[in-house]
Amino acid sequence: MIVQKFGGTSVKSLARIKNVASIIARAAAQDSVVAVVSAMGDTTDYLFKLAHQASDAPNRRELDALLATGEQISVALVAMALNDLGARAVSLTGVQLGITTESIHAAARIVDINTDRLRRYLDAGFIVVAAGFQGATPEGDVTTLGRGGSDTTAVALAAALGASTCDIFTDVSGVYTADPNVVPTARLRKEVSYEEMLELAHVGAQVLHPRAVELARKHKIRVRVRSTFEPEHEGTILKGADEMEIYRPVSGVTADRHQARLAILKVPDRPGIAGEIFGALAEHRVSVDMIIQAFHEDRSVNDITFTVNRSDLNTARTALEEAAARIGAEGVLADEDVAKVSIIGAGLMDQPEVAARMFSALGQAGINIEMISTSQIRISCVVADKDAERAVRIVHDLFHLDAQEPLQS
């Protein structure tokens, strides 16, 4: 039993849908197959824009109802193409798949999958074509799992069904040392640990949805990222860190260009203030990333600066302006033209020279670092958005990420 997932570019046109159907049919000759499919091409972007043209602040329930239609189109078309190839196939939406999520719109987590119906179809010899990115609340309202969430549907179904493999078919040949569309010399990696992939996904390597990686790690699912257009290539396998053969101090670099920065100025310096500010943001479900607090000369006030996802900027700014008025801060500044450039590698904390080299190389190239944060296996710098891609290429060169493995064991 295997799960195959096909992203938007892979089903962009009817010709591509036919290509996908032939990949699925080939797999179905040997195994039971669940094929998870995303919306065609840029359909989700289009629907999102449409909603924002229809309404200044689209109702979140209705927005999810609208976005979910993208995947309903593509699954029906893929099932039809499979029928034309002589295969028995049935398309199922999130609700029909028995996927229950939290009662939250736009980024709901899957809480349960009732696979009864799905299994009945598989047992009867059907290929199930499953709509990615969607589920339903316990009350039956349609929800979506966040942008890129079809990966999560695929891994969650693989876990629920005990599938042996979960193949993520996409428009690149696997996971590279950097986005191959940005860094032409980026190297395809044969294997990546769940931990590294989780960090990469969180810092903007779009190739896998972070929750898909979390679920894969939790359930030890053998996820393989591979190309729809060159399906004969093996792609990249996700593995446990203990199974990895090779470690390199720096294994990947990514830019997240969906960031924004907010600052709240001259905040009175007293206990409980940070709790109040970030509590207000949490109430609006805004996730905050890097946080920097800088004090002024007289030390009675601080500036607090942090980053958020650009899609949360308006919500965050409103919440912050209210908090500023309440606590007597001077005001709020917002900057959309920022990006976060991150390097990932095992044991970065133990190698202080890595961070120093990264900062120096960016400095020598005239790229100003505006904020920095680090974890055990990640170093992130906020830079101007216009410098982001150049910074990624500089760092990729600096650490010789194009060089073949093994460099160091």
Binding-site ranges for ligand ADP (CB under 6 A) = 7-10, 38, 148, 170-172, 175-176, 178-181, 205-207, 252, 254
Q: Which residues are bridge partners to 238 per DSSP?
A: 192
Q: Is 151 left (phi over 0), alpha (psi -120 to 50) or beta?
A: alpha
**Residue 150 interacts with ligand ASP (CB under 6 A)?**
yes
Of 150 and 173, which has the nearer Cβ to ligand ASP?
A: 150
| CA nearest to 166, candidates 130, 196, 195 | 130
Q: What is the DSSP string of 196-260?
A: HHHHHHHTT-TTS-HHHHHHHHHHT--EEEEESSSTTS--EEEE-GGG-S---S--EEEEEEEEE
**Residue 7 interacts with ligand ASP (CB under 6 A)?**
yes
The minimum distance between CB 9 and Mg ion, in angstroms, equals 9
Among 132, 174, 180, 345, binds ligand ASP (CB under 6 A): 132
Query: What is the C-alpha separation between 153 and 130, in angstroms, rounded?
Result: 9
Of 329 and 381, which has the nearer Cβ to ligand ADP?
A: 381
Q: What is the DSSP string of 72-99?
A: HHHHHHHHHHHHHTT--EEEE-TTTTTE
The full length of the chain comes to 409
Of 24 and 367, which has the nearer Cβ to ligand ASP?
A: 24
Q: Which stretch binds ligand ASP (CB under 6 A): 28-36, 145-153, 237-245, 380-388?
A: 145-153
Query: What is the C-alpha separation between 267 and 320, in angstroms, rounded?
Result: 12
Among ligand ADP, ligand ASP, Mg ion, none, partner that 44 touches (CB below 5 to 8 angstroms by kind) = ligand ASP
* Helices (H) then strands (E): counts for the chain: 11, 18
Of 161 and 207, which has the nearer Cβ to ligand ADP?
A: 207
Tokens of 312: 């949360």
Of 306 and 310, which has the nearer Cβ to ligand ADP?
A: 310
**Residue 133 interacts with ligand ASP (CB under 6 A)?**
yes
Q: Which residues are bridge partners to 264 per DSSP?
A: 304, 332
The minimum distance between CB 407 and ligand ADP, in angstroms, equals 18
**Owner of token pair 């295969």:** 87
The minimum distance between CB 320 and ligand ADP, in angstroms, equals 30
The minimum distance between CB 171 and ligand ADP, in angstroms, equals 5
Characterize the bridge pairing of strands 288-295 and 33-37.
unpaired
**Residue 8 interacts with ligand ASP (CB under 6 A)?**
yes
Characterize the bridge pairing of strands 2-6 and 33-37.
parallel
The minimum distance between CB 357 and ligand ASP, in angstroms, equals 35
Mapped onto helix, strand or coil, the DSSP state of residue 49 is: helix
**Residue 211 interacts with ligand ASP (CB under 6 A)?**
no
**Residue 148 interacts with Mg ion (CB under 5 A)?**
yes
Among Mg ion, ligand ASP, ligand ADP, none, partner that 172 touches (CB below 5 to 8 angstroms by kind) = ligand ADP
Among 41, 70, 174, 345, binds ligand ASP (CB under 6 A): 70
Where do contacts with Mg ion occur on this chain (CB under 5 A)? 7, 148
Where do contacts with ligand ASP occur on this chain (CB under 6 A)? 7-8, 38-39, 44, 70, 132-133, 147-151
